[in-house]
A and B are shown apart, each in its own frame.
Chain A
Amino acid sequence: MATLEIRDLHVTVEADNATKEILKGVDLTVKQGETHAIMGPNGSGKSTLAYSLAGHPKYTITGGTVTLDGEDVLEMSVDERARAGLFLAMQYPVEVPGVSVSNFLRTSATAIRGEAPKLRTWVKEVKETMERLSMDPSFAERNVNEGFSGGEKKRHEILQLELLKPKIAILDETDSGLDVDALRIVSEGVNRVRETGEVGTLLITHYTRILRYIKPDFVHVFSAGRIVESGGAELADKLEDEGYEAYTKGGVSA
C-alpha cells in the first residue's frame, strides 16, 4: 500500500530580498485509499505544502523529510516525482501555448506509464473520461489551458487525475472559483478516482463546501505553517460553524 510520509517539513521562500519560513514543521501521513482534507485560512501555507511536495523550484526545503513508499521524494526532480506517483491538481493551471490538450495528455500518459498507450483504447479512454466530466470533445484540440474558463481549467486538472491514476493526489483548492454545478462535476471525478481505493487524496481547501461532495476520512487544520489540529469529518463541521478564528487569534496568520 502506497504511503506518503511527511516529517517535520520546513520550507522557505524568497520574497522581497528576504527569506521567509512558510512551513514550520509539518507532519502528515497519507495512505492509499485515505482522504485527508487540509483546511486553513489564507496565507497559512496550505498551497506551499502542495507545491513543495510537487517540487516547485520557488520553494526551498530547509528541513524534514518526505518519502513515498520509503523513497526520498525531496531528492527527485519534478518529473520524477510525477512518475513516482505524485499528482498535483493546481489551483492556477498555466497556459501552454502551441500544445494541444490531446497531445499533452498523451505525452503525459506516455511518461507516467512508461510506454505510449495503445492509440485505440487511449482515444476511447480520453473520450469517455471527458464525457463524464461534461467536457466537449472540441476541448482536446484546444491549447492547454489557453482561454479556458476557471471551471474548464479545473475539469482539465481532474481529467488528468483520472487518466494518470496517481498513488497520491494533491488537490490544491480545486473548489475555488467553481459554481455549484462545476463543483459537483469535479467532485464526482475525484470520487471516481477515490472509489478505486488506489489513491491517497490530500484535499487542500479554504471552504467546507467541497466536503459535502468529497467525504474526508481525516480533517487537519492548518495555521501558520503547521497542522494545529487533526480529527475526523466532524472537525469540518466545527470549522463550518466557528470559522478559523480559534486558530488564528494571536495574530500568527495573515
Chain B
Amino acid sequence: MAEAQNTPVGSTTAGAIAVAAESTVATRMSAPPSFDVADFPVPHGREEEWRFTPLERLRGLHDGTAVATGDSLKVAVEAPEGVTVELVGRDDARLGRAGTPVDRVAAQAYSAFEQAGVVTVPKETVLTEPIRISVHGQGGVAFGHQVIELGAFAEAVVVIDHTGDVVTAANVEYVLGDGAKLTVVSVQDWDDKAVHVAQHNALVGRDASFKSVVVTFGGDVVRLHPRVSYAGTGGEAELYGLYFTDAGQHQEHRLLVDHNTPHCKSNVAYKGALQGEDAHAVWIGDVLIEAKAEGTDTYEMNRNLVLTDGARVDSVPNLEIETGEIVGAGHASATGRFDDEQLFYLMARGIPQHEARRLVVRGFFAELVQQIGVADIEERLLAKIEEELEASVA
C-alpha cells in the first residue's frame, strides 16, 4: 500500500493472519467472558486488551471506584408506531442473549445497571422512519443496558445520539430474527470531558443483515467494542466506522466478528482522521473464522489520515482462520499523513491551505459515508466533518 510508506512517527500498523487449531482471540483476554464484574481482575494496563487505553482517564470505571449517580443520563426514545419501547428490570429474560461482557468495564456495566431499555420491532414490521434514541449526559456516572430486537423479517434503522458530559459504561445488544434487516448508527458526539466505554453485541439471525455505523467525534475517552456473531447461516454484517480524533482525545474501537456459523459474510471498514497534540486513535479488528464456519466471506479494513504532528494511531487487524473451506478472507490497514508535500502540491494549484485540508479529509471520508445508505445521516455526517475541520483551522 502506497499510504503505508508514509506512517507518521510513533504510529503503529501491525497485522497478523494466523491459521490456528484453536482461537487465540479468546486466550489473549485476561479472563473468560462473564456477566459478573468479580470474575475480572482490576486491569493494570499491560493486558493485551488494555494496553492502548489510558486507565487513569477512565475515572474509575475499571476498578470499581466509579459509582452510579442519579440522573446522569437522560435517555429519550422516539419510535414510529408498532415499535415497543420498555424499561425492564435486571431479571428480564431478554437481556444478555446477544453476547457476554468480555472485559471488566463491560462486566461492571452489566453488574451495576438498574434498569434496561428494550426496543422491539415485531416480526415482519418494516419501518419507514428511523427509531431515534437520544442519550444525553448530565454529569456524574451512569451504567446502562440497551436491547434492540427485530423479529423475523422486520426492517429498521436506529439512530443513537450521544451528547453531553458523563462517565458511562454500557452494553448494547442487537438481536436480529431470521431475515431481519437492521441499520444502527451510533454517534458519539460527547462534550470534551465525557468518558464512554461500551460493548455492542450483535446476534445476526439466519439470512439477516446487520449494518453498524459507528461515528466518534467527541469525548475525552471513547472505547467501543462492537462484536458480531451469527445465529444461523446466510447472515451478513457490515461494520462501518468513522472517527475524528482531536488533540488530547483517546478514541478506541475494538471489533470482533466471530464467524461461528457457516456461509455468513462480514465486511469491516473503519476510517479515522487525527489532528492535534496527543490525539490517539486505536483500532483493533479481530476476525475469527471457526472450524465449522465453512463458506465464510470476510474482509476488514482500517485507514487513518494523520493531519498534524503529535497524533498517534495504533491499528491492529487480526484474522484467525480455523478452516480453509472459505470463500474469502482478507484485511488491510494503513496509516498515512497529510504532509507538507501534499499541501504544497495542492496550494501550487491555487488552492488555499484550509481548502486543501478540507478537500483531503472530505475525500478521505466520502466513500465510507456513502456506504451508510441513510441520506439524512450522510448529510449530517458530512456537515459534522466540515464543522470539525472548521474548528481545527480556526
- B67 located at the interface, meaning its Cβ lies under 8 Å from any Cβ of chain A in the complex: no
Contact of A88 among B348, B351, B353, B365 (CB under 8 A): B348
Interface string of A100-132 (1 = CB under 8 A from B): 100110011001100000000000000000000
> In the complex, are the beta carbons of A111 and B2 less than 8 A apart?
no
Rounded to whole angstroms, the CA-CA distance of A104 and B342 in the bound complex is 12
Q: A96-B342, A147-B2 are in contact. Are A82 and B359 (CB under 8 A)?
A: no
> In the complex, are the beta carbons of B348 and A112 less than 8 A apart?
no
> In the complex, are the beta carbons of A107 and B360 less than 8 A apart?
no
Compute the total of residue contacts between A and B using a CB distance below 8 Å.
83
Residues of A within 8 A of B346 (CB): 96, 104, 108
- B48 located at the interface, meaning its Cβ lies under 8 Å from any Cβ of chain A in the complex: no
> In the complex, are the beta carbons of B360 and A108 less than 8 A apart?
no
By CB atoms of chain B within 10 A, which of A79, A87, A146, A164 has the most? A79
Interface string of B332-368 (1 = CB under 8 A from A): 0000100011101111111111010001111111100
Q: A78-B344, A104-B359 are in contact. Are A97 and B351 (CB under 8 A)?
A: no
Contact of B349 among A77, A108, A143 (CB under 8 A): A108
> In the complex, are the beta carbons of B349 and A82 less than 8 A apart?
yes
Contact of B342 among A55, A56, A81, A94 (CB under 8 A): A94
Contact of A99 among B350, B353, B360 (CB under 8 A): B360
Q: A56-B344, A90-B345, A146-B2 are in contact. Are A98 and B350 (CB under 8 A)?
A: no
Rounded to whole angstroms, the CA-CA distance of A108 and B3 in the bound complex is 23
By CB atoms of chain B within 10 A, which of A57, A99, A103 has the most? A99
> In the complex, are the beta carbons of B359 and A107 less than 8 A apart?
yes
**Distance from A249 Cβ to chain B, minimum over Cβ atoms (Å):** 35
> In the complex, are the beta carbons of A108 and B351 less than 8 A apart?
yes
- B58 located at the interface, meaning its Cβ lies under 8 Å from any Cβ of chain A in the complex: no
Q: In chain A, what residue has the closest Cβ to B366?
A: A98
- A95 located at the interface, meaning its Cβ lies under 8 Å from any Cβ of chain B in the complex: yes
Rounded to whole angstroms, the CA-CA distance of A147 and B352 in the bound complex is 25
> In the complex, are the beta carbons of A111 and B363 less than 8 A apart?
no
**Distance from A41 Cβ to chain B, minimum over Cβ atoms (Å):** 25
**Distance from B352 Cβ to chain A, minimum over Cβ atoms (Å):** 5
> In the complex, are the beta carbons of A111 and B305 less than 8 A apart?
no
> In the complex, are the beta carbons of B363 and A98 less than 8 A apart?
yes
Interface string of A45-57 (1 = CB under 8 A from B): 0000000001111
Q: In chain A, what residue has the closest Cβ to B334?
A: A97
Rounded to whole angstroms, the CA-CA distance of A87 and B3 in the bound complex is 27
Q: A93-B345, A95-B2, A147-B2 are in contact. Are A111 and B350 (CB under 8 A)?
A: yes
> In the complex, are the beta carbons of B349 and A164 less than 8 A apart?
yes
- A223 located at the interface, meaning its Cβ lies under 8 Å from any Cβ of chain B in the complex: no
State how many residues of chain A have any CB contact under 8 Å with chain B. 33
Majority secondary structure of chain A interface residues (helix, strand, loop or mixed)? mixed
**Distance from B92 Cβ to chain A, minimum over Cβ atoms (Å):** 46
Residues of A within 8 A of B355 (CB): 107, 111
Rounded to whole angstroms, the CA-CA distance of A98 and B347 in the bound complex is 16
Residues of A within 8 A of B347 (CB): 77-79, 82
Q: A99-B360, A99-B363, A146-B2 are in contact. Are A111 and B342 (CB under 8 A)?
A: no
Q: In chain A, what residue has the closest Cβ to B5?
A: A95
Rounded to whole angstroms, the CA-CA distance of A146 and B3 in the bound complex is 9
> In the complex, are the beta carbons of A111 and B340 less than 8 A apart?
no
**Distance from B386 Cβ to chain A, minimum over Cβ atoms (Å):** 15
> In the complex, are the beta carbons of A79 and B345 less than 8 A apart?
no
Q: In chain A, what residue has the closest Cβ to B337?
A: A97
**Distance from A114 Cβ to chain B, minimum over Cβ atoms (Å):** 10
Residues of B within 8 A of A97 (CB): 2-3, 305, 336, 360, 363-364
> In the complex, are the beta carbons of A82 and B340 less than 8 A apart?
no
Contact of A100 among B351, B352, B363 (CB under 8 A): B363
Residues of B within 8 A of A103 (CB): 359, 363
Q: For window 29-82 of chain A, which residues contact chain B by CB distance below 8 Å?
A: 54-57, 77-79, 81-82
> In the complex, are the beta carbons of A94 and B363 less than 8 A apart?
no
> In the complex, are the beta carbons of B363 and A79 less than 8 A apart?
no
- A91 located at the interface, meaning its Cβ lies under 8 Å from any Cβ of chain B in the complex: no
Q: In chain A, what residue has the closest Cβ to B349?
A: A108
Q: Which are the 4 A-B pairs with shortest beta-carbon distances?
A: A98-B364, A98-B363, A111-B350, A82-B350
* 28 A-B contact pairs sorted by A residue (CB < 8 Å): A55-B348, A57-B344, A77-B353, A79-B351, A79-B352, A82-B350, A83-B350, A90-B345, A90-B348, A94-B341, A94-B345, A95-B342, A97-B2, A97-B3, A97-B336, A97-B363, A98-B360, A98-B361, A98-B364, A98-B366, A99-B360, A107-B359, A108-B349, A111-B350, A112-B350, A144-B345, A160-B349, A164-B349
Interface residues of B (CB under 8 A from A): 2-3, 305, 336, 340-342, 344-353, 355, 359-366
What 13 additional pairs, Cβ within 8 angstroms, besides A79-B352, A108-B351? Answer: A78-B344, A79-B351, A90-B345, A97-B360, A97-B363, A98-B362, A99-B360, A103-B363, A104-B346, A104-B359, A111-B349, A111-B355, A164-B350
Interface residues of A (CB under 8 A from B): 54-57, 77-79, 81-83, 87-88, 90, 93-100, 103-104, 107-108, 111-112, 143-144, 146-147, 160, 164
